[in-house]
Amino acid sequence: MSEVENQEQEVVEPTAVENLINQITDGDLNKAEGSFNSLIQDKMADALEAQRIATAQAIFNDQDDDIEDIEDEEVELDDGVEEEEEVTSEDEEVDD
């Protein structure tokens, strides 16, 4: 009798995919449709969450490099603007 009791305790509830397959084979297509939609929705939510994490990591982990690049560009742009102003000032003096 102990073997029978152990077998009853070891009964595992079927997974969602197994439930879907059982519903299809039993011909209960309305329940199968709901199970299918639930499975797909769960997979899409998991994929979306994984993409959010990857995007956040890409944005925030590379942020230090981007800040250094921006600072370098600002310095280059500032230098270029000052030179143009100086050239304009020299041209004005020549015209006078």
pLDDT band with cut points at 50, 70 and 90 for residue 82 = very low
Give the distance from CA 25 to its chain's centroid. Answer: 36
Q: What average pLDDT score do residues 10-39 get?
A: 92
Q: Which of 31-40, 47-56, 68-77 has the lowest mean pLDDT?
A: 68-77
pLDDT at 35 exceeding the cut of 70: yes
What pLDDT does residue 23 have? 94
What pLDDT does residue 25 have? 95
Q: What average pLDDT score do residues 15-30 get?
A: 93
Return d(Cα 25, Cα 29) in angstroms, integer.
9
On average, the pLDDT of the chain sits at 76
Return d(Cα 95, Cα 8) in angstroms, integer.
102
What pLDDT does residue 83 have? 47
pTM of the model: 0.49
Domain boundaries defined on the chain: 1-61, 64-96
